[in-house]
Structure 1
């Protein structure tokens, strides 16, 4: 009986020891590349805990993990790689990850409207829009030129000698343009959060209705106890996720109270 009890205690100690999360620091490197690259778009996800983070420009990242967890490394320009966390990695507290560039065959390829996943930007057939521009005798690349909603004559002007700045100041348009510019910046920040965590994360993990995701992120930004904007700009995505998880419970409770009124 004592041997059995002793074995159970050892098993439990072993289990809790292995399940304890440790903060791991790592560095991502791209193999067979001569020039330095900006690695800040590489996403590291712990597939066991669903926590995510981003590497900085130099490829440095930190994320919590336990032995046996799988870390997934993805980006729009590298091949996906999964790494299993072992006891030696946990003991060292540091991991160096080598990734390969995604090779895309460019023969007879056409450039389409740019998408987040770079592999989706390559096509071997003309789009309907491209054929339409060709039929009009126009350069098909004109279809990819878009107006930046953040650009206004009174904000991005040519300095004090620009007459548009004088007119906008007199009419109050300059103040309106600043408000409009700030609005688009806020919307861009919301978009970045959704792109990083994905829509499925908000629906499946946080239980936020799809049509309420934007409103929920604005709700998170409005909380005074944490500077969400600063956390995102400094790539502290684990802290961002902690904030989202906390605010999701509060937001859903408020949502249910509104519905039940």
Structure 2
């Protein structure tokens, strides 16, 4: 009896030792979910911090070994952690079930208070609006400056500048300047949130294409909305999805 116990313990110790010292190999798998949008889900080996993403069919490949933990995460899915076993490496149909994130609002009661607002509380001066420099230029160029008397237009006048600016193309130029200013703001916010190494090492964007990718990202309305919320986790997930698409564009242009 004692001999059998000793043999069992030796076998367990040997198995654990083999699991810890064996080389990591490529494991192939696929995620499944109640959606067709399976591309861009992060797959991270928590032991080595090696990361990859799923393709359009949900398939992925990553270096791992038994007892490693794979972490699956994305904006639209709940995080899933899978402890790998020896069977996973021989299973030709290794699949991981992902559950969609469902945002369910609790009951909201809306009460109307007509006399309570930012102006009445003195937080914002009455009639004041904040403009950027480009927005001020555009407003000045397009605003009609009526100086008519209280009884009508008699004795008053309207500036011809807005009409002149419109036909000369200056208004269109100023509108473009406002858009450029917004994109520059988002570019600075993006570069402040993520380092150059993040784009090159984590997202695998070639160094010479990083600036182009930043412009590509801030052109995406959904991304700038999330970026402006300063939620780094959500921003990083969507940035990863955009990186996959941008690298496909680079690859197609290189052909």
TM-score range, shorter chain: 0.3 to 0.5
More contact order relative to length (CA 8 Å, sep ≥ 6): 1
Give the alignment's TM-score, normalised by structure 1: 0.42
Work out which of the two has the higher radius of gyration on C-alpha atoms and give 1 or 2.
2
TM-score between both structures, scaled by the size of structure 2:
0.42
